[in-house]
Chains A and B, each alone.
Chain A
Amino acid sequence: SQTIHQWPATLVQPVGSPLSLECTVEGTSNPNLYWYRQAAGRGLQLLFYSVGIGQISSEVPQNLSASRPQDRQFILSSKKLLLSDSGFYLCAWSVARSYEQYFGPGTRLTVT
């Protein structure tokens, strides 16, 4: 069966520090991968998606970037965190050509 992992589960970082959040999927090949940010009362905002290794599409211009160095690995990064980057970050995957997405447990990021 397929599983999705995210780490770390929680993270507290100072303003201006770098960020690296990792997401990996097991049990499937060539998935579509997604990064979302969830804010209370605002639903899920799609940040990035990827349909293959090295292929990244950005949905919202911001202080973050994403990379997909391996088929089932998706990384969310920042060179310098802002206070506004605080939030709950969710990774999701889907079978290629399917809209049905499966979500990871999320990372709670607090920028201080």
Chain B
Amino acid sequence: AQSVSQHNHHVILSEAASLELGCNYSYGGTVNLFWYVQYPGQHLQLLLKYFSGDPLVKGIKGFEAEFIKSKFSFNLRKPSVQWSDTAEYFCAVNDKGGGNKLTFGTGTQLKVEL
């Protein structure tokens, strides 16, 4: 089965600092990759996704992620974080088998300080 690793469990940054959150997956076939975000008190929502094509994908709120097939990675980046980016971030990858299932990482809690 697919597995997803998010190595940074808690990240604290100051406003305007750059952000990079790591995501590595195990299955080497065709992948669909996602980053979801959960702001305090809100639904889990899609931040960005990669299905095919340009490996550098851009999402909402200035986030981007780069798919590096050789490294089985899909790291999330933002050049300058804001206090409002404080949230929990989850990486997800499609799983094998039926049901169009996703496997999620354990999440990274990001806190941005003023």
Contacts and interface: CB of A to CB of B under 8 A. Distances in A.
Contacts, number: 54
B49 A32 contact: no
Given A41-B107, A51-B98, A57-B98, A102 B90 contact: no
A104 B94 CA distance: 20
Nearest to A48: B99
B9 interface: yes
Interface in B70-94: 90, 92, 94
A98 B51 CA distance: 10
B44 interface: yes
A46 B94 CA distance: 12
A9 to B, nearest CB: 11
Interface string A31-62: 01010100001111010010100000101000
Contacts of B4: 43
B44 A103 contact: yes
Consensus secondary structure, chain B interface = strand
Nearest to B94: A99
Interface in B25-49: 32, 34, 36, 43-46, 49
Nearest to A103: B44
Contacts of B49: 100
A94 B95 CA distance: 14
Given A43-B90, A99-B32, A100-B34, A105 B100 contact: no
